[in-house]
Structure 1
Amino acid sequence: MTVHPAVLITGASTGIGAVYADRFAGRGHDLVLVARDLARMEALAERLRRETGVAVDIIKADLTDAADLATIETRLREDARIGVLVNNAGAGAAGGFLEQTPDDLTKLINLNVVALTRLANAVAPRFAREGQGAIVNLASVVGLAPEIGMSVYGATKAFVLFLTQGLNLELGPKGVYVQAVLPAATRTEIWERSGRDVNTIQGVMEVDALVDAALVGFDRRETVTIPPLQDLGQWIAFDQARQAMVPNFLQSEPAERYRKAA
């Protein structure tokens, strides 16, 4: 009988995180759900236990709170049953950079960057020792396209993509799979929380479709999964162009164009 690792999912009470919970439960994985909304998690857990028979633990936590974050880090370090971390919790911020306050931006960065990184850091050493495990980081296409706007949000998601690619190079040879999922606009409550009407946005993907596509990438062991991108060749060309520049970065002298006055 195959024993499936347990899956810890952050931001699991609704939206993308809740659908990940549904799908992994359907595959026979026990779950650890982490979010601020206890009532929603309890309702989700009750349904999943009833429908799939898996065990579901619930941890009410605000990942921008240092004590709550430390609780989840400890669980990831010490619970050997957990073999998959889905770093889904994230937020946007209303308005543009000029309207956003320092407190707004600090909270955004603490959730989208600091908490995600600390949770990955908590579990990665154990996964590496065991020679197995998976870390799924929810990024965004906005992290590749400053033209879309959302400057600080996009910067946090660019960080998540870079971190994932770096961890793939570092941890992949040790048997640890690391995936970045890059949604475009998806029908979740993040829009309402950031002060935007999702119905005014073009090309919004439904959550079920997004997660099902992301799991296809997960099963294929893709490092970067971009569900809305129809032409895979565009991403391959982009990544190959990036990699082709790397040797040219390692130069002891400035490029010729910078050695002449304008």
Structure 2
Amino acid sequence: MTEALNQTALVTGASTGIGAVYADRLAHRGYDLVLVARDVARLEALAARLRDETARAIQVLPADLTDRADLARVAERLAGDAAVTLLVNNAGVSMTRDLINSDVTEAERLIALNVTAPTVLASAAGRAFVARAAGGGLGGAIINLSSVLALNPEGFDGVYSGSKAYILNLSQSLAAQYGGKGLYVQAVLPGATRTEIWARSGKDIDAFPAAMVMEADDLVDAALAGFDARETVTIPPLADADLAHFEAMQAERQALAGGLSRREPAERYRVSEPA
């Protein structure tokens, strides 16, 4: 287990669910915390409990990450606070219906929270961590909450799964480009996890078979085990027996990359000249 004394973690979506569990686990690992969410009462209650239990410095930073001014304020904290060495990009939302059957403003809000906000925050944190490492200081880490639906776009609403595929792509790209420059990036892909996101999007988590639903505590503990192992992609519900399928998919994807850009179109797309 990683101990992090005199380091600060900033956790978004920290008032409940996965974010609140991350806050708990990180404080008990020795991190000071900056807790970000809209629900001030819940943040304050969580902060008070964690201060009592861990004696860590816990700051509440209320923010609506779909609001540009609030988002900029959180990004400025990441860029300017040298004590922050870990960003947990957890805040997110789902949709009540699919794109065709919902108001497009719902999709716009999802993209703002699930795509724009983590991109802005990862940029601010990543720049700061890489610059510090280049100067001989301590770099940092970013944990991005994706989803197993990033790997199964046919299985759910495409706006939500697409946002999570974006997070996975972003994480893998940053890891490849900056992994040797003081920045560790982990994408965590939960399956169905018991959090309030289901009720907020009008869905019943209990409609799933019980064997498919993971508790948030178990999800975060598994994800942090992957963090300690310095995994780039951590899929807590993926059984060991199925891991080879994911690894094979990754290998095939990388093998395919060499054939994705050529001067001439493939033979099957060439139009025959009329006789």
Identify the TM-score tier after normalising by the shorter chain. over 0.9
Equivalent residue of 1:89, what SS?
A: coil
Task: Please name the residue that 2:223 is paired with.
Answer: 214
The alignment's TM-score, normalised by the length of structure 2, stands at 0.93
1:1-262 correspondence to structure 2 within 5 Å = 3-131=5-133, 132-202=139-209, 203-230=212-239, 231-260=242-271
Q: Is the 8 A contact 1:85 1:136 kept in 2?
A: yes
Whole-Å Cα distance in 2 between the matches of residues 235 and 129 of structure 1? 33
Confirm or deny: 8 A CA contact 1:33 1:41 kept in the other structure: yes
Q: Percent identity?
A: 54
TM-score normalised by structure 1 residue count: 0.97
Answer yes or no: is the 8 Å Cα contact 1:31–1:57 preserved in 2. Answer: yes
Structure 1: unaligned runs, 5 residues or longer? none
Deviations 1:78-137 (A, max 9, x none): 000000000000000101221111110100000000001000011111100122100010
Per the TM alignment, residue 156 of structure 1 is displaced from its structure 2 partner at its CA by 0.3
- Partner secondary structure for residue 221 of structure 1: coil
Kindly indicate whether the alpha-carbon contact (under 8 Å) linking 1:142 and 1:150 is maintained by their aligned counterparts in 2.
no
**Aligned-residue offset at 1:255:** 1.3
Distance in 2 of aligned mates of 1:111 and 1:77: 19
Distance 2:93 2:255 in 1: 34
Q: Deviations over 1:154-175 (max 9, x none)?
A: 0000000000011111111212
Which amino acid in 2 is paired with 1:118? V
Helix, strand or coil at the partner of 1:252: coil
Q: Which moved more, 1:160-169 or 1:93-102?
A: 93-102
Q: CA deviation at 1:147?
A: 2.3
Is contact 1:138–1:160 with CA below 8 Å preserved after alignment? yes
Tell me, which stretches of 5 or more residues in structure 2 are unaligned?
134-138
Residues 30-71 of structure 1: CA distance to partner in whole angstroms, max 9, x if unpaired? Answer: 000000011111111111000011000001110001111111
Report the Cα offset of residue 199 of structure 1.
Answer: 0.7
Residue in structure 1 matched with residue 136 of structure 2 by the alignment: none
Bigger drift between 112-121 and 98-107 goes to 98-107
Contact preservation (8 Å) 2:86, 2:140 = yes
Which contiguous aligned blocks of 4+ residues in structure 1 show a shift greater than 2 angstroms? 1-4
